[in-house]
């Protein structure tokens, strides 16, 4: 399973990278806004910095919602670095953009996916990644994990190569359940990723090992 971090914050990316388990980064316009990144040059520059920091794929989202605009932005984003993946929303024009970009050899991440039908369309258009948003489904009292399971089943039925990128992660159990179901990638904020490290028995066990060592060795 690949681990991506879902942030545009350089310090958080650095922290995740230092753990040695980071495979890539996803961003979205809200995450960029949270960092105060505004204006085309600043946005492109920020993506370039992120793409330099990680060897794996970095998702950068288009703002346009018409086909021509999405393709123009996609080409500009793909020019930034070879590991940039263009994030395209799940709308009709987005589907057409994904199909064309795939034919051109540009990697895509179909975002804002909330149903198995949308995921099926993304795979048929040839998206590199599909991003089902688990947490936002849970927020409206729908089972986000079931969506990951449904997409896994459908993709396996037909051998679609589109990678399932479990997104909108809120806590460690979303990560664990995604791994159990077989999502290819999980993109998570830093906190749930760090929380995977912790177990009270690990802390207690280590404390005892060190205390026993110290008792005899000073
Ligand atoms: C996915 O790529 C999105 O950036 C992200 O996971 C959305 O998460 P949120 O629902 O916490 O905003």
Tokens of residue 102, six digits = 């795939």
In ligand 1, the atom with minimum distance to the C-alpha of 139 is: 10
Is 7 close to ligand 1, i.e. is its CB under 6 Å away?
no
- pLDDT category at 121 given cuts 50, 70, 90 is very high
Residue 35: pLDDT over 90? yes
Sign of the Cα torsion 210, 212, 217, 218 reads: positive
Q: Indicate whether residue 178 lines ligand 1 (CB < 6 A).
A: no
pLDDT higher than threshold 90 for residue 162: yes
The per-residue pLDDT for range 126-155, each reduced to its tens digit, is 999 999 999 999 999 999 999 999 999 999
User: What is the model's pLDDT at position 218?
Assistant: 84
pLDDT tens, position by position, 20-33: 999 999 999 999 99
87 is catalytic: yes
DSSP 154-207: HHHHHT--PEEEEBS--SHHHHHHHHHHT-SEEEE-HHHHHHTT--HHHHHHHH
């Amino acid at each position: 399973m690949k681990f991506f971090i879902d942030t545009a914050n350089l310090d958080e990316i650095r922290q995740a990278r230092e753990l040695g388990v980071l495979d890539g980064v996803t961003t979205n316009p809200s995450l960029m806004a949270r960092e105060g990144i505004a204006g085309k040059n600043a946005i492109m520059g920020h993506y370039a910095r992120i793409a330099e920091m990680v060897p794996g794929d970095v998702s950068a989202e288009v703002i346009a919602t018409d086909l021509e605009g999405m393709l123009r932005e996609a080409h500009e984003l793909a020019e930034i670095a070879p590991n940039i993946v263009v994030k395209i929303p799940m709308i009709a024009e987005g589907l057409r953009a994904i199909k064309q970009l795939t034919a051109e050899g540009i990697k895509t991440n179909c975002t804002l996916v909330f149903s198995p039908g949308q995921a099926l369309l993304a795979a048929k258009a040839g998206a590199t990644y599909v991003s089902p948003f688990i947490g936002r489904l849970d927020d409206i009292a729908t089972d986000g994990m079931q969506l990951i399971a449904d997409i896994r089943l459908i993709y396996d039925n037909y051998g679609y190569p589109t990678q399932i990128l479990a997104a909108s992660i809120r806590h460690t159990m979303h990560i664990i359940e995604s791994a159990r179901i077989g999502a290819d990638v999980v993109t998570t904020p830093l906190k749930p990723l760090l929380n995977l490290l912790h177990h009270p028995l690990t802390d207690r066990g280590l404390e005892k090992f060190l205390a026993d060592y110290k008792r005899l060795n000073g």
